[in-house]
A and B are shown apart, each in its own frame.
Chain A
Amino acid sequence: MILLYPAVAILICMGIYTVLTQSNMIKIVVGISIVESSIILLLGAMAYVPEGAAPVLDRSYELVADPLPQALGLTAIVINASTTAIMLALIIKLYNRYDTLNIHKIRRLRG
């Protein structure tokens, strides 16, 4: 159980590393998805109660998992899905304009 927290940290670092180093836009989106999923893993790990039952309304259980992080996790999944959808839609548009997925060939704007 305690291993989950380092796993979350490693996943976040992996995801951000992917975002920073890859030049393929699809891979960048994959990297962002990894970061987002790791937070959901964190939420799942937080809700865990040793030997706890599912948080369904039933008086016969003493120990139940914390339902709040699970609810947050569901909301976060929905939000992640919609941002991923927007990202992919933009990638399709950019690909149609430039015929490439390489971010360095597309980027003409300078900060």
Chain B
Amino acid sequence: MHLPVWLIIIPLFMVFSLGIFAYINKKIVKPLVITGGFLQTVLIFFFILRRGEEVPLTYSLGSWRGDIAINLAIDSFSLVMFVLMALMVMLSLIYSLTEIREGSVKFYLLINVLFVGITGMVMTADLFNLYVFFEITSISSYALVAFNDRDISLEAAFKYLMIGTVSAVFLLMAVVLTYQATGTLNMALIPEGMEEVPVLTRQLLFAFYMIGLGVKFAIVPLHTWLPDAYMSVPITYNVLSSGLVVKASFFVLVRILYVLFGVEFLADNMLASVLLIWGIISMLFGHAAAFQQDNLKRLLGYSTIAQMGYVIIAFSLGTAAGIVAGSFHMINHGIMKGAVFFAAGSLRRETDSYELKEMHGLADIKPYTSLIFVLILLSMVGIPPFNGFVSKWLILEASVEAGNLIAAFLVIAGSFLSLGYYLSIILNIYTGYEGSSEKTSEVRLNEALPTGILAVLCLVLGFVPTSLLAVIGDAPVFVLERHNFISLILGG
């Protein structure tokens, strides 16, 4: 069974062949990219649908023994990211067909580099390999932020690059020091060696991992690049960033914290509480800052920071219910943000601006897109029939169960805060229309389709959350009980 490695090979093949094919004929670039994305999606769906028989599995590169090889592992927790990748990869590629007019070869090349990095980060079980994939993801992100070649995108890219590179140094340092302390880079062998490392060293390593990966998922004092970067990038990258890049970094941090350090260590040294408080700060700050924004994309960027706060809170509880709730919210946020950005991109074609005050009365020109847009915004607030409600309810339940009533209260308070700024967007779109009421806008199928699919998913997951919970329900088995992960890789 060589299927896991093909998940990395397919986008990697695209990266290296796109240039050659574009040299032969520019017209086959887009069909080729779509084919690659389709193959990858099919492969991911294969793993999700056959999770009983195929997953969990481990693949040792080069067929070395499990303890020396670089391993790729797919367990029930990876399925959380797999669900996101199955949706986002294909839908964003479809959406980008009309959005990217110039330099499409460059764009698809970078997007495929991004896919390589994310897939690798999710699957790898080797720390240094993780760092390499992390850098692959980061470098393609920097280039994609600068892609539009406008003044603000270059500035945002430089800012992101500065913060990102320094954070990558911290991650590398953490990896190197882990190697020195434990003598191995295999994530299955480190936990054993980690037990003998002094507590102070372990706390230092925790801090380094937090800083190194925290920049990527925009934990609050390290978040400054995100709203800037979101302002002037293609919608496709907005969706991929908030749906995959941010999530993959957080996913990796969870795996490192729970497998390398162990849940007991986090609880004994108050580090779980540090994470919890950090999550609460992220959430409240994100909501508060979103209030002051008058650019739609910046606002959605701050909303991503806030929603990641909810995910951090859920994961820091350290209970099975918390991890399921956090995983569920990770997927839901990806779906909702994807739909919102897709809809916002379609709305923007009428106004050519993301400034809120110029979006007055858009609902008269594009009634259906606006309706979807508003419904998804309500879903993000957490209003009942949608998926946002279900996942916030699960987080609430998990934090009450774990005895964290303050966190539970702040989750509700944060949701009320978010209602304020989402209502102001809705108000902007539905009022103040000046001009003729003739509907001149065209509907593009490739933009309507991804928006529609994600919006329907929001509703479906709101009514039957069990369909997704069945997929991710086993996630805590590999997070909380790390011996499962270790024996999966070492085959014991």
Contacts from A to B (Cβ < 8 Å): 12, 16, 19, 25, 28, 32, 35-36, 39, 42-43, 46, 68-69, 72, 75-76, 79, 82-83, 86-87, 90-91, 93-94, 97, 106-109, 111
Does B128 contact A107, Cβ atoms closer than 8 Å?
A: no
Tell me if B166 and A111 are in contact (CB < 8 A).
Answer: no
What's the minimum C-beta distance from B146 to chain A, rounded to whole angstroms?
Answer: 6
B179/A107 in contact, CB under 8 A: no
Q: What's the least CB distance linking A61 to chain B, in Å?
A: 20
Which chain B residues lie closer than 8 Å to A79 at the CB level?
132, 135, 168
Please determine whether A109 and B159 come into contact, CB atoms closer than 8 angstroms. yes
Could you give 24 example pairs across A and B, Cβ below 8 Å? A12-B173, A32-B169, A39-B173, A42-B173, A68-B179, A72-B176, A79-B135, A79-B168, A82-B139, A83-B168, A86-B139, A87-B158, A87-B165, A90-B154, A90-B157, A90-B158, A93-B146, A94-B158, A106-B158, A107-B159, A108-B152, A109-B152, A109-B159, A109-B228
Known: A12-B173, A46-B180. 11 other contacts (CB 8 A): A28-B162, A39-B169, A46-B179, A68-B179, A79-B135, A83-B161, A83-B165, A83-B168, A86-B142, A93-B146, A109-B231
Q: Is the CB of A94 within 8 A of B172?
A: no
Which residues of chain A are within 8 angstroms of B231 by Cβ–Cβ distance? 109
Give a binary string over B131-175; 1 marks a CB under 8 Å from any A CB, 0 the rest: 010010001001100100101101111110110011011001100
Complex: chain A residue closest to B231, CB-CB: A109
Residues from chain B with Cβ under 8 Å of A72 in the complex = 128, 176, 179
Within the complex, what minimum Cβ distance (angstroms) separates B135 from chain A? 5
| B154, A36: Cβ atoms closer than 8 Å | no
Q: Which 3 A-B pairs have the closest CB atoms?
A: A111-B224, A109-B228, A79-B135
Which chain B positions have C-beta within 8 A of A12? 169, 173
B101 CB, nearest partner CB in chain A, Å:
20
Q: Does B286 contact A (CB under 8 A)?
A: no
A39–B176 touching, CB < 8 Å: yes
Question: With a CB–CB cut-off of 8 A, which chain A residues contact B151?
Answer: 97, 108
CB proximity of A96 to chain B, nearest CB, Å: 10
State which residues 60-90 of B face A: CB under 8 Å: none
A40 to chain B, nearest CB (A): 9
* Of B128, B159, B169, the contact of A35 (CB 8 Å cutoff): B169
B227 within 8 A of A: yes
Q: Is the CB of B169 within 8 A of A90?
A: no
Whether a CB of chain A sits under 8 angstroms from the CB of B246 is no
Judged by DSSP, the binding face of A is helix
Residues of A within 8 A of B122 (CB): none
Cα A31 to Cα B202 with chains together (Å): 28
A86 cross-chain contacts in B, Cβ below 8 A: 139, 142-143, 161
How many whole Å from B309's CB to the nearest CB in chain A?
Answer: 17
Judge if B185 is at the interface, Cβ distance under 8 Å.
Answer: yes
Cβ A108 vs Cβ B155 within 8 A: yes
Interface of B is mostly: helix
Contacting residues, chain A, for B128 (C-beta < 8 A): 72, 75
From residue A45, how far is it (CB to closest CB) to chain B in Å? 10
**C-alpha spacing A28/B158, complex, angstroms:** 11
The answer to whether A42 and B166 touch across the interface, beta carbons within 8 angstroms, is no
| Binary CB contact string for chain B from 182 to 214 against chain A (1 if under 8 A, 0 otherwise) | 000100000000000000000000000000000
Contact of B165 among A32, A46, A68, A107 (CB under 8 A): A32
Q: A79-B135, A90-B146 are in contact. Are A35 and B176 (CB under 8 A)?
A: no
Residues of A within 8 Å of B168, CB to CB, are 79, 83
**If the complex has contacts A72-B128, A94-B158, are A16 and B166 also in contact, measured as CB distance less than 8 A?**
yes
Instruction: Give the CA-CA distance A39 to B179 in the complex, in Å.
Output: 13
Partner of A109, one of B143, B156, B165, B180: B156
CA distance A109 to B180 in the complex (A): 41
The distance in angstroms between the C-alpha atoms of A52 and B364, with both chains bound, is 77
**Residue ID in chain A nearest B146 by CB atoms:** A90
Min CB–CB distance A31 → chain B (angstroms): 9
CB distance from A22 to the nearest CB of B (A): 11
Task: Determine whether the beta carbon of A106 is less than 8 Å from that of B162.
Answer: no
Within B224-252, the residues touching A (CB, 8 Å) are 224, 227-228, 231
Q: Which of B132, B152, B185, B228 contacts A68 (CB 8 A)?
A: B185
Is the Cβ of A93 less than 8 Å from the Cβ of B154? yes
Q: Which residues of B contact A107 (CB under 8 A)?
A: 155, 159
For chain B residues 398-438, which have a beta carbon within 8 Å of chain A?
none
B225 CB → nearest A CB, Å: 9
Q: Which parts of B117-133 form the interface with A (CB within 8 Å)?
A: 128, 132
Contact of B166 among A35, A43, A108, A109 (CB under 8 A): A35
Which chain B positions have C-beta within 8 A of A97? 151, 154
- In the complex, are the beta carbons of B155 and A36 less than 8 A apart? no
In the complex, are the beta carbons of B142 and A111 less than 8 A apart? no
CA–CA, A23 and B158, complex, Å: 13
Chain B residue contacts of A39, Cβ below 8 A: 169, 172-173, 176
Provide the bound-state CA to CA distance between A12 and B176, in Å: 14
- What's the least CB distance linking A62 to chain B, in Å? 19
List the A residue with the shortest CB-CB distance to B232: A109
CA distance A76 to B134 in the complex (A): 12
- B176 contacts which of A25, A69, A93, A94 (Cβ < 8 Å)? A69
CB distance from A73 to the nearest CB of B (A): 9
